[in-house]
Structure 1
């Protein structure tokens, strides 16, 4: 159980960092929010890819790609809702 939680934290951190690198502009969300962004993005991406394909695949390349795409979508929505990046810095 502990290893599963740690795995999700590391997985979320990696997906969140990649999403922050892809979305242009400066993000001031910190490490904890990056992890949350990545985990939520992983869930969103996993659900979307699970619906479009034959099901959830776990830690395979399609899972990583879906997680990163989900994290990018969540970051863009987060920026729109909070009003961040509304002006160019």
Structure 2
């Protein structure tokens, strides 16, 4: 997939992750996109390592979207924990 496809998947996966995990985040659309793109890569890597499958097959494959959303949720949770610690001090 091309970079534009990854950005689009990242944007949408990041938005879906924020919808799944509502709450205030100190990031705007750029942070959402970056978390989504990184989440897609993380989800694909985890799918390959844990299940031995190539989960990032193509733009319209359900496995691509599921991996991106799961990875984005994981990264969003880590982002909140990290930022939450920084704010409390």
TM interval, short-chain normalised: 0.7 to 0.9
Number of the residue aligned with 1:11: 9
Instruction: Give TM-score scaled by structure 1 length.
Output: 0.82
In structure 1, how many angstroms separate the alpha carbons of the residues matched to 2:16 and 2:43?
Answer: 14
Helix, strand or coil at the partner of 2:38:
helix
Aligned length: 84
Select 2:21's aligned residue among 17, 20, 23.
23
The question of whether the paired residues in 1 share the 8 Å contact of 2:56 and 2:63 is answered with yes
Partner of 2:33: 35
Q: Which residue of 2 aligns with 1:78?
A: 79
Q: Tell me if the contact between 2:16 and 2:69 (Cα under 8 Å) persists in the aligned partners.
A: yes
Runs of 4+ in 1 over 2 A off after TM superposition: 53-57
Q: Which runs of 5+ in 1 are unaligned?
A: none
Give 5+ residue unaligned stretches, structure 2: none
Q: CA RMSD in A?
A: 2.1
Query: Are the equivalent residues in 1 in contact too, given 2:13–2:72 (CA < 8 A)?
Result: yes
TM-score computed with the length of structure 2 as normaliser: 0.82
